[in-house]
Amino acid sequence: NFPKETVDELKKWFEEHIMHPYPDDSDKELLAEKTGLTTAQQVSYWFVNARKRIW
């Protein structure tokens, strides 16, 4: 589980890109920096799970 602020930031990106919620490598790096996650891999996993949950 990630902190609420982290999840809010990731959800915001997801909702803004709902038609194609697949961040590229630069988006993942930026989201990792903005959210304080240690790697873009954590961002990738969050999006995999979010697409399963939300779609």
Q: Which stretches does DSSP call E strand in the chain?
A: none
Given a cut of 80, whether residue 55 has pLDDT beyond it is no
Cα-based distances in Å from 30 to 16, 26, 53: 15, 6, 23
Q: What is the pTM of this model?
A: 0.91
Structure tokens at 10: 């990731």
Confidence of residue 1 (pLDDT cuts 50, 70, 90): confident
Burial 33-51 (b: 16+ CB within 10 A, else e): eebebeebebbbebbeebe
CATH number of the CATH domain containing 23 = 1.10.10.60
Looking at the structure of the chain, the number of domains it has is 1
Residues 13-53: pLDDT tens digits? 999 999 999 999 999 999 999 999 988 999 999 999 999 99
Q: What residue numbers bound the domain in which 19 lies? A: 4-54
Number of neighbouring beta carbons within 10 Å of residue 29: 14
Q: What is the pLDDT of residue 25?
A: 95
